[in-house]
């Protein structure tokens, strides 16, 4: 029996990790710890909420006393830490909230785990603190490829070709940290604290840095669900700058599977990069999303291309992210299960079939936030 806390389990990636662990490991007790900020939504977990090995606890990760008590009461063996403020645009407007949750919140979890685990006879034996981080801590890569990126629709073969084309111009595990946004600075800081708890106290920690995720249950302030919803309602699609920035996209369930593999088989104190060699210029991926939505809604393909609206660029907008995940692939045998074509088709279908989920989120407070954000550009 293992007792595992997954923080941020009501969010986008966290809900996929909770679902995977609850279904795959009936012998574990999975505790989803989440404050339920604007980004947390228990509707993401409706299908597993009644399972006997699942428990939800509403808690702020900054509440040291409450978390220490939870560690004791539930005899926690493992922590998979995803709770965070995660949206770059919000971090530009309100950096303090990001420092509080992402830095102080992570430190609070680390210190509570340290005190509890060090009080046990077996101490750190069989324990694990696994911190989920992002590729954004590494900063930005140059747009070295003359045509931007190979597109559209990568295949496994073209992923390898992409690696060839870019040579060594990827983020690897030893790339120096160089965060630019308040969000990535807060994540970088939390990563350093996690490593410091290993180096100073011997806590069994692991850190992973993943590229952009896409898939069901993503909060619709992020590019792909926001644009799917706007296309559905024929609202403008705000493309920052020239739409030339490059992101490396991974289907969220593949990230969850990587987390499972690394939680169980990763080496203590190691870092693993997670990504699928799937780079896209924003404007290219946006066109794929428009064509897919139009086709699935029975509209003429490309009918909504004129919704594209170029707006003021994001401040400090990182040019390109690209993850080299070969260490994870060769040492632990993980690889992405989906081709991008399948992933994006599944994703668009899911949002179109789950209008109620989307409409619940996009009504009320969020609608006002989004309108203000859009007008601000
Ligand atoms: P999300 O914003 O969808 O979800 C974050 C969750 O954390 C929400 O459920 C929210 O309620 C919870 N939370 C926020 N503050 C909290 C607090 N103080 N106490 C307790 N819970 C709190 O985020 P996501 O996109 O699912 O990202 C999850 C993690 O993965 C983050 O750490 C993020 O940095 C990292 N990550 C995300 C991506 C991506 O593409 N989305 C890529 C790489 C890494
Ligand atoms: O790389 C991993 C990161 O990916 C995670 O750590 C973050 O939590 C996650 O939010 C994501 O960050 P991005 O800033 O890359 O994601 P976002 O969906 O906000 O934006 C993707 C790209 O699209 C980025 O270049 C900005 C651009 N964009 C975004 C929005 C919301 C637009 O052009 N218009 C938009 O309206």
Taking only the tens of pLDDT, the chain with its 377 residues reads: 699 999 999 999 999 999 999 999 999 999 999 999 999 999 999 999 999 999 999 999 999 999 999 999 999 999 999 999 999 999 999 999 999 999 999 999 999 999 999 999 999 999 999 999 999 999 999 876 555 555 444 444 456 666 666 666 899 999 999 999 999 999 999 999 999 999 999 999 999 999 999 999 999 999 999 999 999 999 999 999 999 999 999 999 999 999 999 999 999 999 999 998 888 889 999 999 999 999 999 999 889 999 999 999 999 999 999 999 999 999 999 999 988 889 999 999 999 999 999 999 988 777 778 888 888 88
Token reading at 158:
């073209």
Nearest CA to ligand 2 atom 25: 245
Can 136 be counted among the known catalytic residues?
A: yes
Q: Measure the CA–CA gap between 214 and 212, rounded to whole angstroms.
A: 7
Token reading at 89:
């645009």
Atom of ligand 1 nearest to the CA of 136: 43
Rounded to 5°, the CA angle 65-66-67 comes to 90
Ligand 2 centre to CA of 295 (Å) is: 25
Nearest CA to ligand 1 atom 5: 11
Can 183 be counted among the known catalytic residues?
A: yes
79: left (phi over 0), alpha (psi -120 to 50) or beta: beta
Q: Edge to edge, what strands does the sheet with 271-274 contain?
A: 54-58, 28-34, 2-7, 78-81, 128-134, 205-210, 271-274
Which residues does 178 contact at the CB level (< 8 Å), separation at least 6? 138, 139
Q: Which residue in 49, 87, 67 sits closest to 129, CA to CA?
A: 67
Please give the model's pTM, rounded to 2 decimal places: 0.96
Ligand 1 centre to CA of 255 (Å) is: 13
* CB of 91 sitting under 6 A from ligand 2: no
Can 135 be counted among the known catalytic residues?
A: yes
Q: Which residue in 270, 279, 278 sits closest to 331, CA to CA?
A: 270
Q: Which residue in 15, 22, 12, 13 sits closest to 4, CA to CA?
A: 22
Which residues does 331 contact at the CB level (< 8 Å), separation at least 6? 267, 272
**Closest ligand by atom to 102 CA:** 1
């Amino acid at each position: 029996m293992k007792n595992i806390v997954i923080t941020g389990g009501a969010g986008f990636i966290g809900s996929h990790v909770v679902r995977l662990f609850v279904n795959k490991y009936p012998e574990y007790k999975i505790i989803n710890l989440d404050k339920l900020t604007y980004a947390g939504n228990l509707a993401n977990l409706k299908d597993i909420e009644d399972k006997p090995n699942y428990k939800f606890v509403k808690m702020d990760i900054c509440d040291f006393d409450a978390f220490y008590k939870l560690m004791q009461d539930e005899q926690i063996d493992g922590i998979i830490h995803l709770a965070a403020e995660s949206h770059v645009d919000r971090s530009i407007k309100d950096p303090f909230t990001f420092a509080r949750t992402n830095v102080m919140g992570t430190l609070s979890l680390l210190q509570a785990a340290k005190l509890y685990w060090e009080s046990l006879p077996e101490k750190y034996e069989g324990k694990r603190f696994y911190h989920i981080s992002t590729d954004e801590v590494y900063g930005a890569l140059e747009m070295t490829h003359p045509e931007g990126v190979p597109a559209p629709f990568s295949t496994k073969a073209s992923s390898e070709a992409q690696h060839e084309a870019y040579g060594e111009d990827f983020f690897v595990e030893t790339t120096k940290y160089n965060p630019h946004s308040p969000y990535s600075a807060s994540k970088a800081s939390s990563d350093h604290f996690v490593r410091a708890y290993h180096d100073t106290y011997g806590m069994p920690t692991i850190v992973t840095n993943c590229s952009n995720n896409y898939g069901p249950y993503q909060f619709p302030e992020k590019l792909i669900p926001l644009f799917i919803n706007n296309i559905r309602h024929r609202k403008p699609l705000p493309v920052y700058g020239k739409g030339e920035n490059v992101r490396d996209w991974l289907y969220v369930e593949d990230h969850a599977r990587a987390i499972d593999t690394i939680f169980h088989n990763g080496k203590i104190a190691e870092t693993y990069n997670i990504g699928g060699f799937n780079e896209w210029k924003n404007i290219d991926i946006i066109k794929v999303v428009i064509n897919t939505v139009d086709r699935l809604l029975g509209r003429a393909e490309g009918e909504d291309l004129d919704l594209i609206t170029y707006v003021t660029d994001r401040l400090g907008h990182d040019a390109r992210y690209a993850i080299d995940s070969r260490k994870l692939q060769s040492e632990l045998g993980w690889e992405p299960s989906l081709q991008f074509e399948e992933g994006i088709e599944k994703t668009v279908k899911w949002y179109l079939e789950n209008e109620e989920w989307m409409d619940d989120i996009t009504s009320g407070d969020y609608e006002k936030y989004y309108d203000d954000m859009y007008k601000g550009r």
